[in-house]
């Protein structure tokens, strides 16, 4: 899908999926009910898959020689850790999940933000997955580790042309744990984790930034009061993002990034 197609698809998905399902958000024991319909999300994603000429239950697994390798992050409820659901085989991949995970299941798993959508079970062992943001709200290190697994450390460092990290804004509206009494602490931690991760990566891989091979873009102000589910505020999101991109420092970085992306791959 092109970038324009992705924007149109997400706008359509948001308008259809983010319709509140329940009025009472809390269960008896303080656990949060899903606010939106998981089945509706599943249905809409399947429609998008079939529109691209694939079967609705097509596997995420791609052909071995596929040029574009894809993964999404999800959190295993049983192991309480981040799992990368991949389209490719690697030495450290979970082969049982690789052979079983459907495209729509991967989308559901990485979108299962606590209080937004219910968790999903995937694979022959019915492992339960939550939103990847609960463990990797900024997955730049997961990306780096996956690339190392596929190409090796030295090959990656030597041949990497351009790594682009795009944030969703510094927002306080983040996925949180499924118990209402733990929401506050989780919100505080997750609101700062994204940029802290970006800063750690920038410091550790400073040579990539210095050499024009790593770029990070993230709207600094204006998205704090716009929640994940507020699709009707897309005009506000666009306006704030344009203002951010018009900043001289950001504009210069965009120019350098575009120049880097235009370089031919040898």
pLDDT at site 172 = 53
Give pLDDT, residue 246: 96
Per-residue pLDDT of 196-213, as tens digits, reads 899 999 999 999 999 999
What's the CA gap between 172 and 127, in Å, rounded?
29
Condensed to tens digits (0 to 9), the pLDDT of residues 42-79 reads: 999 999 999 999 999 999 999 888 889 999 999 888 87
State yes or no: pLDDT of 40 exceeds 60. yes
Arithmetic mean of pLDDT, 81-100: 87
Residue-averaged pLDDT of the chain? 85
- What local confidence, expressed as pLDDT, does residue 222 receive? 87
- Sign for the CA dihedral angle at 247, 249, 250, 253 comes to positive
Dist. CA 216–CA 253, nearest whole Å: 9
Bigger pLDDT: 122 vs 135:
122
The two most distant CA atoms of the chain are separated, in Å, by 60
Report long-range pairs for 49-56 (Cβ below 8 Å, ≥24 apart): 49/103, 49/104, 52/1, 54/103, 56/104
């Amino acid at each position: 899908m092109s970038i324009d197609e992705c924007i149109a698809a997400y706008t359509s998905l948001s308008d259809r999926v983010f319709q509140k399902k329940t009025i009472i958000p809390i269960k008896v024991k303080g656990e949060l009910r899903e606010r939106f319909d998981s089945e509706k999300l599943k249905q809409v994603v399947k429609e998008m898959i079939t529109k691209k000429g694939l079967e609705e239950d097509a596997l995420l697994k791609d052909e071995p020689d596929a040029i574009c390798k894809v993964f999404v992050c999800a959190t295993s409820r049983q192991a309480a850790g981040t799992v990368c659901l991949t389209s490719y085989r690697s030495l450290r991949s979970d082969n049982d999940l690789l052979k079983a995970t459907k495209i729509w299941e991967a989308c559901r798993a990485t979108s299962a933000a606590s209080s937004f959508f219910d968790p999903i079970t995937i694979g022959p062992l019915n492992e339960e997955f939550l939103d990847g943001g609960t463990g990797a709200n900024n997955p730049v290190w997961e990306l780096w580790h996956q690339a190392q697994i596929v190409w090796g450390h030295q090959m990656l460092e030597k041949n990497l042309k351009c790594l682009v990290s795009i944030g969703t804004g510094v927002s306080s509206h983040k996925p949180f744990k499924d118990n209402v009494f733990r929401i506050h602490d989780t919100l505080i931690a997750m609101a700062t984790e994204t940029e802290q991760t970006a800063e750690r990566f920038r410091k550790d891989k400073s040579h990539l930034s210095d050499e024009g091979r790593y770029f990070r873009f993230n709207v600094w102000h204006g998205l704090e009061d716009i929640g994940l589910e507020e699709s009707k505020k897309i005009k506000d999101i666009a306006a704030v993002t344009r203002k951010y991109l018009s900043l001289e420092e950001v504009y210069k970085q965009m120019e350098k990034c575009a120049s880097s992306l235009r370089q031919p791959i040898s």
